[in-house]
Structure 1
Amino acid sequence: MRIPATTSNLGPGFDVLGMALALYNDIEVSVLPGKGPDQVEIAGEGADRLPRDGRNLVLRAFREALGWKFHHPLRWRMKNRIPLCRGLGSSGAARLGGALAAAALSRTGKDRWPDFVAAACRMEGHPDNVMPAFFGGLCGSYRVDRELRFFRLRRPVGLRAVVCIPELEVPTEKARRVLPKTVPLADAVRTAARLAVLVTAFEQRRYERLAAGMDDVLHQPYRKRLIPGLYEALSAARRAGAHGAALSGSGSAVFALSPTAAAARAGAAMARAFARRGLRSRSLVLDFDYRGAEVR
């Protein structure tokens, strides 16, 4: 299996919007003969500290999505390229990978695979990473009663994704704890307006509107205390030529949408902004992923 990284929120689309990126985790699973525990091999991101037993997030998602005990031990080989705790969908990719492994090994028909995707969303607690990781592209997710639904937005043309990743981990749970339970009415209205601008910017390919559309007052002002240099990095990306920039998910990575010609410059500008606040970082210029999760 190959699961893409994702950036979510894109500013005001909190827990709704997500975009798949061309940076991937690979998961290989095979059935072992006899009895015994699963075997887990991990390379790449997190190889020095991720658990290699039933506590591993991929294995936990597999068991929960499957709903019954698999009759043979499994060998798991994981090659992780998505950084951990940076707001790039590493936990969503792990949960989706485990759920899709359950779908494949239980020989469930592909017409029922969306049920396993929905299970991964339930485990994750929000759908904005899992849905684009599965379907690819730029997706919005919402619920009608208990039914999870999604829509795709138009593919960006002439843009690249620029991600700047500080050497700072921000666990999602910590980033959610700093958010208020209620927000001022003015902030709710501004968020609705900005989200409308953002959606129409993609649909009409009016990318000059992305700076306004990716402006956020719902979560970034509260999370900036966790990420020194956040606003400086976002401003630096725009000054370097990016159309818009926002915190990637719950951070600590920041994400910009840039014309191809300015993409590397925007990434370097964000890295310099973090460096001025004492944070090392690295920037990546990435394509968008439109294939979504692949199971072979």
Structure 2
Amino acid sequence: MIHVKVPATSANLGPGFDCLGLALQLYNTISVEPNRPFQISLTGSYYEGIPADESNLVWQTMCHLWELLHYPTPSVALTLENLIAPSRGLGSSSAAIVGGLVAANTLAGSPYTKFELLQVANDLEGHPDNVTPALYGGVTLSVPAKDGISPRVLAQSPNLKAVVLIPNTLLNTEKARGILPLHVTRNDAVFNISHVGLLIEAFIREDYSLLQEGMRDVLHQNQRAILLPGMLETLESALKGGAYGSALSGSGPTLIALVAESTQKAVSQNMLTTLEQYGVTAQAMVLEIDSCGATSSRT
């Protein structure tokens, strides 16, 4: 039996569009029983609407890697426990892709390195901001380079927590991407580049007072605010509650605030109350930053 655990992730962190992300201690797990008739069993908090046949993303990803490896597709039984809310901006599709790759690689004897798995995951997902932290853990920067995506772990175990506000509504990633303009101004590009630099300094120096300014963005958050009533006001309420910084998680609708333990309750309550004023109900969670990324084990 092979067991794979993959963390949820939050991408962008404000200005780091498609390149910054962090891993959270909220997990999907994949259990693989070799030499069993093919079957997919779904458990956990989120399984409605997820296919339990050969169209399942985890299974398709596993088959893709075996094809790359020229490894005969084995007959296995899968049990998928899904605790990461889908279509909420918490990297559920990346978790499926990374989990499938790690499971398939482990079953084949682990011929691919983590770096090689990242390249395959990026090809499948289309952008690395979620798959990199899902594989490596911590706070990551994904750099397109000549030999593929270069993963940089800025902070493996930052001394902060994440207040995650998950609205009870779905948001398709393609829709959230589709409302963004095809071109940006030079001023906006400079703004985000400089703020990504500040964000990186905040994590490397562990100077979290820089996060409030560092997590500001002009490329995508204001544009996506029309998809979630009260989004900008809720992010501001997190700062008023004492958060280091706040941002839209990925393409949303989940909102994330990075906090000290002493402010997590005030920030969480501020965000919930503010969003509810705009008619949106949500679930609030306080999560640690995952430092390991995807893991696999055999029993």
**Range of TM-score over shorter length:** over 0.9
Q: What is the identity, as a one-letter code, of the residue corresponding to 1:210?
A: L
Q: How far does residue 173 in structure 1 lie from its aligned partner after superposition?
A: 1.1
Q: How far does residue 269 in structure 1 lie from its aligned partner after superposition?
A: 1.1
State the alpha-carbon separation in 2 of the partners of residues 118 and 269 from structure 1. Answer: 40
Q: How far does residue 109 in structure 1 lie from its aligned partner after superposition?
A: 3.1
Q: How far does residue 69 in structure 1 lie from its aligned partner after superposition?
A: 7.0
Task: State the match for 1:132 in structure 2.
Answer: 133
Instruction: String of CA shifts for 1:63-110, please: whole Å, max 9, x gaps.
Output: 112215744321010111111111111100000011112211222336
Query: Contact 1:201/1:210 (CA < 8 Å) preserved in 2?
Result: yes
Q: Map of 1:1-296 to 2, 5 A cutoff?
A: 1-33=4-36, 38-67=38-67, 68=70, 70-109=72-111, 112-155=113-156, 157-296=158-297
State the alpha-carbon separation in 2 of the partners of residues 268 and 55 from structure 1. Answer: 40
Q: What is the identity, as a one-letter code, of the residue corresponding to 1:216?
A: D
Please state whether the residue corresponding to 1:23 is helix, strand or coil: strand
Query: Contact 1:21/1:287 (CA < 8 Å) preserved in 2?
Result: yes
Instruction: String of CA shifts for 1:185-230, please: whole Å, max 9, x gaps.
Output: 1111111111111111112222111111000101111111111111
State the alpha-carbon separation in 1 of the partners of residues 148 and 158 from structure 2. Answer: 32
State the alpha-carbon separation in 2 of the partners of residues 96 and 156 from structure 1. Answer: 21
Query: Contact 1:100/1:117 (CA < 8 Å) preserved in 2?
Result: no
Mind listing any 5+ residue stretches in structure 1 that lack a counterpart?
Answer: none
Q: What is the identity, as a one-letter code, of the residue corresponding to 1:170?
A: L
State the alpha-carbon separation in 2 of the partners of residues 147 and 71 from structure 1. Answer: 27
Please state whether the residue corresponding to 1:215 is helix, strand or coil: coil
State the alpha-carbon separation in 1 of the partners of residues 92 and 272 from structure 2. Answer: 21
After superposition, the CA RMSD in angstroms is 1.5
Q: How far does residue 24 in structure 1 lie from its aligned partner after superposition?
A: 0.6
Name the % identity.
37
Normalised TM-score (structure 2) = 0.93
State the alpha-carbon separation in 2 of the partners of residues 146 and 216 from structure 1. Answer: 29
Normalised TM-score (structure 1) = 0.94
State the alpha-carbon separation in 1 of the partners of residues 237 and 71 from structure 2. Answer: 51
Residues 89-98 or 268-277, more deviating: 268-277
Say if 1:188 and 1:278 are closer, same or farther in 2 by CA, change over 3 A.
same
State the alpha-carbon separation in 2 of the partners of residues 221 and 207 from structure 1. Answer: 23
State the alpha-carbon separation in 2 of the partners of residues 182 and 197 from structure 1. Answer: 24
Mind listing any 5+ residue stretches in structure 2 that lack a counterpart?
Answer: none
State the alpha-carbon separation in 2 of the partners of residues 184 and 236 from structure 1. Answer: 29
State the alpha-carbon separation in 2 of the partners of residues 138 and 72 from structure 1. Answer: 35
